[in-house]
C-alpha cells in the first residue's frame, strides 16, 4: 500500500509504501512541500501524487513504485490547503484517478472562477484538458454555478473498468451531492452526469465495489445540520 505520512516531529508529509503484513514502511519522496494523495498506476509501476507549492499551487508528480527519480507532470492553480486542512471543508478523496491504460490522470484544479473542478492530464507530457461535466444548462443551473472558493468537485472514484466516474459536487461546502458520469476511452465525459444521492451531508470519501455496481461513501452530517 502507499500512503502519505507526516512522521512524528518531522514536516512536511511524504509518500511511503509498505508491504501488507510485517515490516517497516519505505519512504519514497524527498522533495520540498507536503506530498499527499498517492495513487497507484493500474500496472503497479508508478505512484502519482500531489505536492504542495505555497501559497496557491499544487504539483502533480510521478515516481516509480520501487523508488527512483521523481517526475513533475504539471503545476495546477490549486490551494493545497483545500486538501490538507482537517475540517469539513476539505476536498474529499480520492483526489487522483488513473485510466486503466495508464495514459491519463484525473485530478482537480481551481477556477476560473475559484471553484475546484476536474481536469484530465496526459501522463506522457502533462498536457491538461478541460473536463466539461454539466453541458446541459438546466442541469448545471439546478446544481449551482460553483461561484466561489467554498464549492467544487472532489472524491474522484473511478470504476474498475474505467468507464464510470463517481464524484462529489458541492455548491456550498460542506454540503455535497453524489454524481456518476460515463467516460469515453479517452477519459472524458461521454454524457451528462446523473445524480446518485442528494442530502445535506459532508461526503468524506467515495469508493466503488470491485464489481462496479455499487458505491460506498464515507459521510458525516454537515456543520449546518449539527448546529455548529
Residue in the structure block whose three cell numbers are 505520512: 5
The CA distance from 106 to 95, in Å, is: 8
Is residue 171's pLDDT more than 80?
A: no
The CA distance from 177 to 166, in Å, is: 11
Residue 73: pLDDT band (50, 70, 90) is very high
Give pLDDT, residue 138. Answer: 37
pTM for the model: 0.84
Express each pLDDT in 18-65 by its tens digit.
998 888 999 999 878 899 999 999 999 999 999 998 778 899 999 999
Asked if residues 111 and 170 have their Cβ atoms less than 8 Å apart, the reply is no
Give pLDDT, residue 120. Answer: 96
Give 175 or 64, the one with higher predicted confidence: 64
Residue in the structure block whose three cell numbers are 446541459: 136
Asked if residues 200 and 225 have their Cβ atoms less than 8 Å apart, the reply is yes
The CA distance from 89 to 218, in Å, is: 15
Over range 127-133, report the average pLDDT. 90
The CA distance from 213 to 19, in Å, is: 29
Asked if residues 62 and 15 have their Cβ atoms less than 8 Å apart, the reply is no
Amino acid at each position: 500500500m502507499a500512503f502519505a505520512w507526516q512522521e512524528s516531529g518531522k514536516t512536511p508529509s511524504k509518500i511511503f509504501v509498505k508491504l501488507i503484513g510485517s515490516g517497516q514502511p519505505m519512504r519514497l519522496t524527498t522533495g520540498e512541500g507536503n506530498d499527499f494523495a498517492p495513487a497507484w498506476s493500474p500496472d503497479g509501476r508508478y505512484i502519482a501524487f500531489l505536492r504542495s507549492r505555497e501559497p496557491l499551487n499544487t504539483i502533480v508528480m510521478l515516481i516509480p513504485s520501487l523508488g527512483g527519480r521523481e517526475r513533475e507532470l504539471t503545476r495546477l492553480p490549486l490551494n493545497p490547503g483545500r486538501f490538507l486542512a482537517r475540517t469539513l471543508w476539505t476536498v474529499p478523496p480520492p483526489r487522483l484517478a488513473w485510466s486503466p491504460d495508464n495514459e491519463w490522470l484525473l485530478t482537480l484544479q481551481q477556477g476560473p472562477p475559484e471553484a475546484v473542478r476536474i481536469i484530465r492530464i496526459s501522463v506522457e507530457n502533462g498536457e491538461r484538458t478541460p473536463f466539461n461535466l454539466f453541458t446541459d444548462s438546466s442541469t448545471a443551473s439546478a446544481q449551482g454555478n460553483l461561484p466561489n472558493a467554498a464549492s467544487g468537485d472532489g472524491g474522484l472514484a473511478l470504476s474498475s473498468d474505467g468507464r464510470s466516474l463517481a464524484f462529489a459536487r458541492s455548491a456550498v461546502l460542506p454540503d455535497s451531492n453524489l454524481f456518476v458520469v460515463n467516460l469515453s476511452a479517452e477519459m472524458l465525459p461521454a454524457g451528462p452526469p446523473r445524480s446518485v444521492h442528494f442530502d445535506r451531508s459532508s461526503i468524506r470519501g467515495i469508493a466503488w465495489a470491485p464489481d462496479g455496481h455499487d458505491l460506498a461513501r464515507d459521510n458525516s452530517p454537515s456543520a449546518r445540520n449539527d448546529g455548529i
